[in-house]
Amino acid sequence: MYDAIIIGAGPGGLTAAIYAARYKMNTLVIASGMGTLADAHMVENWPGEIKISGIDLMKKMKEHVKYFNVPIKEEEVTRAEKIKNGFKVDTKKSSYEGKTIIIAIGTKRRKLNLPNEEKYLGKGITYCYTCDAPLMHDKVTAVVGGADSAAMAALLLTEYAKKVYILYRKEALRAQPILVEQVKKSDKIEVLYKTEVKKLKGSKFLESVILNHGKKLKIDFLFVEIGFVPSLALVKDLKLKTDKDGYVIVNKLKETNVKGVFAIGDITDTVLRQAITASGDGATAAFSAYKYCRNC
């Protein structure tokens, strides 16, 4: 039985693994991906790295974890449950038991929830601008959203597309001021405020969108960057308390309402969802798990 099973391999999960290893805890990391940070085109707010791609930063973190000989199982977790003296975590390949669980599963991308949205997935709609921006040479594109990810998507698209629209439902972008400034300076970006996508049009591929004021906007590709929603499957399995939006409620020690279960990062009811804050959460959770194991 492991001392700690960490579910998720983003900044929070990997930091928890490093700290747990330094506490000489028998630790396992299980994750089916590298987290949303890996999708970031450029990270400029990680101390010690003036500019680094998200994927490169995540690779460095994984190497750091491997230095401490913590195994990382690249498997998809299907269920977690309480058992005698601990917890059992099932994946599509195997089962693992641990005295504690640190949940670092992050969030999943919010969708537009339009009737034919799935039809155009990969055929004019994408949720990953770092993946698809390089394919937009001489295309007319639009980004839905007004926060950091939308601004960063639009700025990256200017390197490839001939035109970039930002479609935002409010009166002013709420991205970081430095990003808003860069958006306003770009000749390729046009921001349409008080604008929402109501319909998607096109035969086999997306050809245009109908906006809330009835205007038809012809585009080749739509990038959806409207935030994230919590992943709830494991939360329900373990009967964790959440706030009204589905985020796990934790205290300052990252403890949940279930003893031995800790939650960190974007899945929690935190005020700031950033890689650096998730990393801090990971350190705290590892410390709390260590104290729990000493007393159990």
DSSP 99-151: EEEEE---EEE-----TTTGGGBTTTEES-HHHHGGG-TT-EEEEE--SHHHH
Side-chain half-sphere of 89: how many Cα atoms within 13 Å? 28
Nearest to 257 by CA among 281, 236, 240, 270: 240
* pLDDT at position 233 over 80: no
pLDDT score, position 41:
75
Q: What is the tens place of the pLDDT at every residue in 149-206?
A: 999 999 999 999 999 999 999 999 999 999 999 999 999 999 999 999 999 999 999 9
pLDDT tens for 18-55 read 999 999 999 999 998 877 788 777 888 899 999 998 89
pLDDT at 231 over 80: no
pLDDT class for 262, splitting at 50, 70, 90?
Answer: very high
* Residue 54 per-residue DSSP state: H
Give the mean pLDDT of 202-226: 95
Position 220 scores a pLDDT of: 96
Domains, the chain, ordered by start? 2-109+228-295 (3.50.50.60), 118-224 (3.50.50.60)
Question: Residue 289, CB half-sphere, CA atoms under 13 Å: how many?
Answer: 35
pLDDT band at 285 (very low <50, low <70, confident <90, very high): very high
